[in-house]
Every structure is written in structure tokens, then in C-alpha cells.
Structure 1
Amino acid sequence: MEKLLNKWVYVPPKWDGGTMVGRYIAVLLLGLLLGAAVGYAIPKQGSCLFERSKFSDAPSGEVTIIYGFDANYPPFTVMQPNGTPVGFDVDLMNLIAEKYGWKIVYKPWDWSTIVTALENGDIDVIASGMTFNAARSQKIWFSVPYYSYVHQLVVRSEDKRSFDEILNSNEYIAVQLGSTSDEWADRLIKAGYKFKKLGLDSYVSALEALLDGRASAVITDSAFLGPYLKKDPDLAAKVKVLGSIGAPNVYAIATRPQDKWLRDKINEALEELMNSPKWNELLKKWGLD
């Protein structure tokens, strides 16, 4: 390598009066033009690489947030028969809106297409036990996390089979379509486990499928199951958790990537709320403490 490098010797250009001056001027002008073009193309400091959106900056006048959620995910979001949404996440969004004087428009949405609805602008936020994960982060951006949970494999209480026996039973395991339990079922099947997936519209429906015999197990999450069974001791006696699946996960509020102003305001309110006595009161109210 040393011999090779020693063969390359810099030879200064021979001075040729006006010809060399012309060349240097041409190079200088070319550099200036390229610099100007690059400077124009690169976003100015503080600007966003994404296209501008509804909440990229603070809007003028009244702020209206279209809030998308799962209509049947207790205790986080539930649509009552009279059309009123309730739940932990509903209270959370209402408190954030109250802090800033925002108006909330509630919009229940099919969970399997809710991310697309956010991308398309049909809704502005998702706060409904939305798991912060890598796949979703490629499309939408999240607030700071506010709750953690684990996925669980649940069976009927009289079932004596092991974790692996259930996953290799060639029987149905129920999940909520579009949820992280749905993703887990696909991942397990791809890994070689032998069962069939029964996709339903909610965790509640998946649990009902287990109880009525349409499924031998359900993949659910502790954030739903714990509070749900706490409210119904008779139901709790009919099922049991065989074990956890994977590592803990976290919930966060989802926004469009370009809606930086909205995300910043949500994060500010979330951190303030989580560091106040009101947070523990909210957790206790919905059985999440």
C-alpha cells in the first residue's frame, strides 16, 4: 500500500495566464451555482421534511380535534347505547382538550382500518389502547407512552393442556382483527405453531368465542383482560391465563407525522397529567391501577 501511495504525486497545474484564470473563474461560478441550488433544496432549520398538514403549526381560531377510537375496547374506549363514548382514553382526551380549550368530535372507527383513516385525514388522533410499535411507526407517529401491558394466552379454566399444546392443537385461537394480538397470531403461525386464527371485531368478541366454544384460546392483552374480569367475578372463574407472549408493550396517542404542533401539545398535557394526583385517580376509576 505504501509503494502504491508513493507513486501518486501531486503536480501543480502549470500557469497559463488568462486560460488558468478563466478556468478558476468557471469553477468558482459553478461552485456558487451548485451551492445555491443545494441551499434552496435543503429545508430551512426547523422545517419539516413532510408535507404541511392540518396541525403542522398552531391553527388560528377554534381547534377541533376529530378523535378516532375503537367502540368496544373496555376499559379504554366504549360506545354506550345512547351514543356517548366512555373510558380511560376518552377521559384522557377530554382532559387534554379541556386544558387547551379544544373541541372534540368523537368518531368510532373499525380498528382494522383506523391507521389508514388517520393517514387519510378522516380522523386527527387515535387514543384507544393504540400500541406503539415499529410497524405502525413507519406510517404514524406517537406521543409519549402512558400505559404498559403484556399479551396473554387465555383458555377456559377446565382446559388442562399446556401452552405449547394449545398452540399446536390445530384448533381456533381467537384474536381481534387489526390488533397486536392479530399480529402475534400471524407471527406464531409463521414460526411453525399449528393452530387456526379466528379473527373477530373486538377483544370482547374474541373472549366470547372462547367461552362459547368457537375457539380453544384467545390471544388478548392484560390491559383489557384484567379490568374486564375484575368487573365480573363469575366470568373470571371461567377462564385462566396460561402465560404471557413476548415482551411488555406500551400504549400511546397516535398522530400524523407532520402534525408536530398537535403532538407537542398532547405530550405537554400528558406529562403534566401523569405527574399529578389526577393520574392515579383516573387509573383507579377504570380498574387500571
Structure 2
Amino acid sequence: MDNTRTPSRRRFALLACFATLACAVALLAGCNSSTPSAGSAGSADTGSAAEDTSASATGTLIVGFDQSYPPYGFVGDDGEFTGFDLDLAAAVADKLGWDVQYEAIDWDAKDTLLNSGAINCIWNGFTMEGREDDYTFSEPYMLNEQVVVVRADSGITSLEDLAGKTVITQVDSAALDVLEGDQADLAATFASLEQIGEYNTAFMQLESGAVDAVACDLSIAAYQLAANPDAYLQLDEALSSEHYAVGFKQGDTETADAVTEALRELNADGTVQELCDKYAEYGLTYDNWVLE
């Protein structure tokens, strides 16, 4: 049999190819039409909906905290997590019928962990001033200040005496925010402003003479002075005054409101006073409680 195609046969084959191609183009256009097929929109919405990891939705309060932040969150002598804020979180969870889970975190990673759902609140002596646009907060519950601690024998007695000195603070801390913001002129007089991962090491460096001063929360200063009353001196003038609150992911107002109301009830029934007394030896006082 002769398989050689004649010119007419070739033309016919070519026309058939063009027809097939045109049908394919039309089919693709139909698939990519802006009018969605039935059920396609629902599928897209389901896939894109973000999972609600809030305590109100899950029934579990996952507390992100710095385990080196006494008296609010730290490792006790028995090797277990303890602290005023951790006990307070447990009391709130119990009152609201939630479970509570503690997650010791790298403080610098707190935002990533909160936004990913690995934790659903930051509760650890967390200053709200200057962070209002980044989190949804409970109402403030504790008064705080940013202060400076020096060695008792340093001869430093005022903020002005810090000129030419090395000052250290925790990375991403409220003290750092103040020294880079409202107190930037003061910080400009320092020989250097150092940052470190946690305050326990900062005070070890102060004790050794590696740095001249530590800028920190009032609660941290009170804890260190209670533990070493003859070693340190807190300067009288504070860098700033502020408040502690519980930080939640932006928009999680349901959980924030529930926690605030539970804190009010715990204050009314005397639980807050009991916890303040429990940690009084660490320098914590009920006098600084502000939520009525």
C-alpha cells in the first residue's frame, strides 16, 4: 500500500489540526472563565480560612513566657516553672474552664510564635505602652517602671552619672524601647548600650564589673535587690512608668475581655492578694495592682 499523502490529503489533515486546536483553546477559555463553577468559591473559602487558635476557641490558654524573668516567670528550685504571672494565668484558666499550657520561649521570637498559633498569649510582665498597635491587650493589671540598677559600691547615684558608662538591657525589652525612644538623649551619653538575651546574665555581668548598670523593669530590680540587698542600688529616678497587661494576637478581643473579667473576679475574691503575698520575698507587692 502506498502511504504517501497527496496535496489534498495534506490540506485536509492540516485543517483537522487547526479545528482540534481551536476546540482546545475554547475549552481552556471556558475553564479560566471569571464565572466560578458551582461549589468552587466555597472550596476556596474553606481552604483560605485561618484556623482560630485563641483560648476562647480552643479552650486552652497557651502562655508564652520568658523562663528567666522572676518573679513573673522562672524556673523554681524544684526545676518546675513558677512565677506570679504563671500562677495568675492558671487561676484565670481555672475560672474560665480552660486548660493552661506553659511555653518557655525565646523572647525575640514571641511575635512569630503568637502569629503562628504556637502560643495564644504573652503573659510575663509584658509592658503594653508602645505596643498597643501590635497586640490586643487585656486591661492593665500591674503598675511597672523602667529603672536602672548599679553596684552599691559604684559611686553612681543618678542618671547623669551614667555618662561614659556601659549599660545593658534585655533584647526587645521595654527598657530598650525607652532608651531608644523617650530617653534616647540619655542613652547617647553612655559609652555603650548593650543587649542580652535574659536579665539573669545581665546581672551576672553587673556583678562581675563587665557592665556598669542594668536597665530593667521595676519588678526585676526588686527581685535582684531582695536577693542581694547589699550588692545593688536602684537609682531613685525612673526611666519611665508603664503597666503590665496580657498580650493576645490582634483581633482576639473575646479572649482579652474574658481574661480581664476573670482577673477582676480573682482580685475581688482575694486570690490576687494571696499570690502577691506568695511572691513578696521576690520584691512583688499588691500595692502595684491596678485592675479593680
Q: TM-score normalized by structure 1? A: 0.73
Q: Give 1:177's match in structure 2, choosing from 156, 171, 181.
A: 171
Contact 1:75 1:228 in 2 (8 A): no
Question: Is the partner of 1:244 in helix, strand or coil?
Answer: coil
Instruction: For 1:164 and 1:96, locate their aligned partners in 2 and report how far apart those are by CA, in whole Å.
Output: 39
Q: Give 2:52's match in structure 1, choosing from 35, 51, 54.
A: 54
Deviations 1:56-99 (A, max 9, x none): 7953xx61222110111000001347663100001001001111
Instruction: For 1:193 and 1:219, locate their aligned partners in 2 and report how far apart those are by CA, in whole Å.
Output: 14
Contact 1:113 1:178 in 2 (8 A): no
> Residue 209 of structure 1 corresponds to which residue in structure 2?
205
Contact 1:119 1:140 in 2 (8 A): no
Instruction: For 2:194 and 2:240, locate their aligned partners in 1 and report how far apart those are by CA, in whole Å.
Output: 23
Structure 2 CA distance for partners of 1:162 and 1:99, relative to 1, 3 Å: closer
Deviations 1:106-127 (A, max 9, x none): 1111112213321332210111
Following superposition, the deviation at residue 260 of structure 1 comes to: 2.1
Q: Which runs of 5+ in 1 are unaligned?
A: 1-50
Contact 2:166 2:213 in 1 (8 A): yes
> Residue 246 of structure 2 corresponds to which residue in structure 1?
253
Following superposition, the deviation at residue 268 of structure 1 comes to: 1.2
Question: Is the partner of 1:65 in helix, strand or coil?
Answer: strand
Structure 2 CA distance for partners of 1:254 and 1:194, relative to 1, 3 Å: same
Contact 1:148 1:250 in 2 (8 A): yes
Tell which structure's C-alpha radius of gyration is larger: 2
Instruction: For 2:233 and 2:220, locate their aligned partners in 1 and report how far apart those are by CA, in whole Å.
Output: 14
Contact 1:70 1:111 in 2 (8 A): yes
Q: Give 2:260's match in structure 1, choosing from 260, 267, 273.
A: 267
Does residue 96 (structure 1) correspond to residue 89 (structure 2)? The answer is no
Structure 2 CA distance for partners of 1:121 and 1:241, relative to 1, 3 Å: same
Structure 2 CA distance for partners of 1:83 and 1:155, relative to 1, 3 Å: closer
Following superposition, the deviation at residue 225 of structure 1 comes to: 1.7
Following superposition, the deviation at residue 253 of structure 1 comes to: 0.6
Give the aligned residue type for 2:276.
L
> Residue 75 of structure 1 corresponds to which residue in structure 2?
71
Instruction: For 2:114 and 2:185, locate their aligned partners in 1 and report how far apart those are by CA, in whole Å.
Output: 29
Give the aligned residue type for 2:212.
S
Q: What is the aligned residue count?
A: 232
Give the aligned residue type for 2:91.
L
Percent identity among equivalent residues? 27
1:124-139 alignment, distance < 5 Å: 124-134=120-130, 136-139=131-134
Q: Which moved more, 1:193-202 or 1:64-73?
A: 193-202
Task: Provide the aligned C-alpha RMSD in A.
Answer: 2.3
Question: Is the partner of 1:159 in helix, strand or coil?
Answer: coil
Structure 2 CA distance for partners of 1:138 and 1:158, relative to 1, 3 Å: same
Following superposition, the deviation at residue 276 of structure 1 comes to: 2.4
> Residue 28 of structure 1 corresponds to which residue in structure 2?
none
Structure 2 CA distance for partners of 1:120 and 1:166, relative to 1, 3 Å: farther
Q: Which moved more, 1:198-207 or 1:172-181?
A: 198-207
> Residue 284 of structure 1 corresponds to which residue in structure 2?
277
Instruction: For 1:82 and 1:279, locate their aligned partners in 2 and report how far apart those are by CA, in whole Å.
Output: 23
Contact 1:57 1:260 in 2 (8 A): no
Q: Which runs of 5+ in 2 are unaligned?
A: 1-48, 286-292
Question: Is the partner of 1:104 in helix, strand or coil?
Answer: strand
Deviations 1:126-149 (A, max 9, x none): 110000112x21111110111112
Question: Is the partner of 1:250 in helix, strand or coil?
Answer: strand
